[in-house]
Amino acid sequence: MHIPHITTERLLLHPFRIDDTSDLFAYASAPEFSQYVEYTSPQLLAEAQAFREHVLLSEDPDQLSWAGCTRNQPNVIGTVQMTRDTPNSVTVHYDISHLHYGLGYTTEAIQAMLQWCLTNVPAVTLFLADTMASNVGSQRVLEKCGFTHYKTAHVN
C-alpha cells in the first residue's frame, strides 16, 4: 500500500527515507527513551539502519510506518506505525524523542494516522495498542486518542 504524506496543524508525517536514520538513532539511543520500550534501543548507527530497513521500510502491505517532524523543523522526532492484525483490526505503535514528551505531538500524530486509516481502510473497525504499565504518559496519549484500557499483562 502506498504510504501518503499526512499534514496536521503542527506536524508532517512522511514515509521513512534513508536519511531519517540518523534522527531515529539520535533519540532512540537515549536512556530517557529506552526506559519505555520493550526492545533493545540501538547503540550503534548500524543497528538503527537495520531496524529502519526491517521495520520502517518494510514492503509488507499490512504494516505502514511514518516518520514525524514538526512543520518548522525537518528532523524526525518520532514515528507512528500501524500493523494490520486481521481484516478488521490494526495495532498502533508509536514513539517520540524524550525531548518532545508532553507537547501533544504523539497524540496529534496518532489521531491523524487513525483518521487516515478510517478514511482509507474502511474495513478496519478495531484499533489496538499497548504500553508499559509504568509509562503513564503513553497511557494518557492513548486515552486522548479514544482508546480504553482493556487489561494489564505482566511480561517477564
pLDDT tens-digit profile of 122-141? 899 999 999 888 888 999 99
Residue 59 lies in a domain: yes
Total domains, the chain: 1
Residue 154 lies in a domain: no
| pLDDT at residue 58, as a whole number | 63
pLDDT at 78 over 60: yes
pLDDT single digits (tens) 24-74: 877 777 676 655 555 555 555 566 666 656 655 567 778 898 999 999 999
Residue 20 lies in a domain: yes
- For residue 70, what are the CA distances in angstroms to 52, 109, 156? 20, 10, 36
Domain hosting residue 18, numbered range: 6-144
Can you give the CATH number for the domain in which 136 is found? 3.40.630.30
Residue 98 lies in a domain: yes
Q: Which of 123, 122, 139, 141 is nearest to 131 (CA)?
A: 139
Q: Between 108 and 27, whose confidence is greater?
A: 108
pLDDT at 112 over 80: yes
* Residues 87-97, mean pLDDT to the nearest whole number: 94
* Cell numbers placing 143: 486515552
Residue 101 lies in a domain: yes
pTM of the model: 0.85
84 strand-pairing partners: 90
| pLDDT at residue 28, as a whole number | 75
Is the Cβ–Cβ distance between 143 and 106 less than 8 Å?
Answer: no
Residue 55 lies in a domain: yes
For 150, the enclosing helix (H) or strand (E) is none
Residue 135 lies in a domain: yes
Residue 155 lies in a domain: no
